[in-house]
Amino acid sequence: MTKRKLVVIGGDAAGMSAASKVRRTHKDWEIIVFERGRYTSYAACGMPYFIAGMVESADHLIARTPEVFREKQDIDVKTLHEVVKIDPGKKRVRVRNLEEASEFWESYDELLIATGASPVRPEVAGIDAKGIFGLSTLQSGLDVFNYIRDHKPKKAVIVGGGYIGIEMAEALLARRMKVSLLDMASQVMITMDPDMGKLISEYMRENGVDLYLGEKLDHFETKRGKVSSIVTDKRTLDTDLIILGMGTIPNSSLAREAGIELGAKDAIRINKKMETSLAHIWAAGDCAESFHLVAEKQVHIALGTVANKQGLIAGENISGGNMEFPGVVGTAITKIKDLEISRTGLNEKELKDLGIPYKTSTIISSTRPGYYPGTEEINVKLLIEETGGRLLGGQIVGKQGAAKRIDILATAITARMTVRDLLVLDLSYAPPFSPVWDPLQIAARDLL
Ligand SMILES: Cc1cc2nc3c(=O)[nH]c(=O)nc-3n(C[C@H](O)[C@H](O)[C@H](O)COP(=O)(O)OP(=O)(O)OC[C@H]3O[C@@H](n4cnc5c(N)ncnc54)[C@H](O)[C@@H]3O)c2cc1C
């Protein structure tokens, strides 16, 4: 019998999780991973902290190199190889060797698309100037790091106030730059409600970030090929460095050209087993959709948490198993300097758009009892169904020890618990960790 062959496109979180899972199940399969970059299994999430200077070397962001995959797991990782076409009829992919500029066909029995997502790059004048960066792959993080080392920028403007923008604001402040952040929305972190977003904006301003909210990027001006200023619909800001944090778009063009169905935001449509619309072709991670358990619809959420799980489940099912990914509730966490931020479920705008009647409570409490050293402020907002009290969403902004509490809410929302269930949940308590009424339960109490 000939060996079965798995081909994976993309060598990071989703792709390598799947390849490793298949290898654990089938010692005899041939597994080939094509990765167009130089690196595999890197922590893109760690890049802001590497750029900030908190991580000694970019090597520390790499969990496993191509050599280790080859030697320890017999996974044939081919870096600097880009898949340029999928031919589902003949079950083969066209691969470009980027070093040799040559092309060849590679056949597959099973194919996993794990191509990730790319940062949005607006088509405005000056966008191709030196000094304008989006973050996605490890190489993109290295490019920013090297640019800062070589050009010593003094002023930076971040376009977009989502979590990448916020984390990069912290990183560039740490590199002693004058940091401005521009967003066309009237708040930062539009996945939060405006009242919670305001707490973040106030903290950012107090900590030296100049915020320009409700302002739209128009174009960039350049001097000798380098970005020299950013022009908005209201002003011109001089700058030496631009970071684009304007969201991501799934890398789904290979799939679309192969006739594979796309869904939310053009992400690859998959079922709960990670199967695409074509037989023997699977997809996982940032290039693919997820099902939102509260909104009850397909969404595109580009997060490492989801990519790793989808990759594992794809690997299990490709191996002949039967595992399902039920979906996501939109849980995310970040921080800027000492301010922690997290959210889960749906926010007010999303609930209004879906026509779901809701009630909210917002409380200010403390992360520990007032008498205990190091106690910090925590702001909690809960969103529940107007009748029945089912938990629909939650947001937390506070200092050290605040934001990770969101995981309790994510669990409660996934389990379809009500605000009463949350109130009487047997959570842990001792003064070094929490007040006797956990802030989440104080917010729940306010809704009864
Ligand atoms: C700055 C930053 C911070 C982040 N922080 C967090 C965080 O704190 N928490 C969190 O949950 N998530 C975070 N994320 C998101 C997280 O990194 C991604 O969700 C995760 O990496 C997605 O994994 P993936 O395998 O789907 O895609 P990717 O990691 O994007 O990997 C896809 C790979 O496919 C390769 N590829 C694409 N097309 C081809 C092709 N045609 N041929 C060959 N190779 C190809 C790419 O080079 C890439 O290496 C962050 C992302 C960034 C950029």
With CA atoms as reference, report the closest residue to 400 among 438, 442, 368, 444.
368
* Cβ neighbours of 418 (radius 10 Å): 16
CA distance 336 to 188: 12
CA distance 308 to 69: 17
pTM of the model: 0.97
Residue nearest to atom 18 of ligand 1 (CA): 304
Give, for ligand 1, the residue of 16, 34, 35 to mutate: max count of ligand atoms closer than 8 Å to Cβ: 35
CA-141 nearest atom, ligand 1:
1
Q: How, if at all, do strands 391-398 and 226-232 pair?
A: unpaired
CA distance 355 to 339: 32
297 φ/ψ angles, rounded to the nearest 5 degrees: -150, 165
pLDDT at 59: 95
Mean pLDDT of 7-13: 98
pLDDT at 338: 97
Residue nearest to atom 28 of ligand 1 (CA): 116
CA-310 nearest atom, ligand 1:
26
Residue nearest to atom 37 of ligand 1 (CA): 115
Name the band, by pLDDT with cuts 50, 70 and 90, for residue 3: confident
Mean pLDDT of 265-283: 98
Q: How far is the CA of 247 from the centre of ligand 1 (A)?
A: 13
Q: How far is the CA of 300 from the centre of ligand 1 (A)?
A: 14
CA distance 250 to 196: 28
pLDDT digits 0-9 by tens, 25-54: 999 999 999 999 999 999 999 999 999 999
Residue 1: pLDDT over 70: no
Residue 323, token pair as written in the block: 């595992």
Mean pLDDT of 96-122: 97
CA distance 187 to 197: 6
Residue 137: pLDDT over 60: yes
Name the band, by pLDDT with cuts 50, 70 and 90, for residue 434: very high
Name the band, by pLDDT with cuts 50, 70 and 90, for residue 333: very high
382 φ/ψ angles, rounded to the nearest 5 degrees: -115, 145
Q: How far is the CA of 375 from the centre of ligand 1 (A)?
A: 36
Give, for ligand 1, the residue of 45, 54, 112, 257 to mutate: max count of ligand atoms closer than 8 Å to Cβ: 45
Mean pLDDT of 342-346: 98
> Do the beta carbons of residue 211 and residue 204 sit within 8 Å?
yes
Name the band, by pLDDT with cuts 50, 70 and 90, for residue 437: very high
Residue nearest to atom 26 of ligand 1 (CA): 285
Give, for ligand 1, the residue of 7, 12, 244, 256 to mutate: max count of ligand atoms closer than 8 Å to Cβ: 12
pLDDT at 157: 98
pLDDT digits 0-9 by tens, 144-153: 999 999 999 9
CA distance 77 to 321: 24
Mean pLDDT of 415-440: 97
Q: What percent of the chain has pLDDT over 90?
A: 99
CA distance 150 to 160: 25
Question: What mean pLDDT value characterizes the chain?
Answer: 97
Q: What are the pocket residues of ligand 1 if the criterion is a CB atom closer than 6 Å to any ligand atom?
A: 9-15, 34-37, 44-45, 47-48, 82-83, 114-117, 135-137, 164, 251, 254, 285-286, 302-305, 307
CA-138 nearest atom, ligand 1:
49
Please count the residues of the chain: 448
pLDDT at 2: 67
CA distance 309 to 44: 16
Residue 179, token pair as written in the block: 């940091």
Catalytic residue numbers?
Answer: 45
Q: How far is the CA of 317 from the centre of ligand 1 (A)?
A: 22
pLDDT digits 0-9 by tens, 371-419: 999 999 999 999 999 999 999 999 999 999 999 999 999 999 999 999 9
Task: Name every residue whose Cβ is closer than 8 Å to that of residue 1 and which is 6 or more positions away in sequence.
Answer: none
> Do the beta carbons of residue 162 and residue 245 sit within 8 Å?
yes
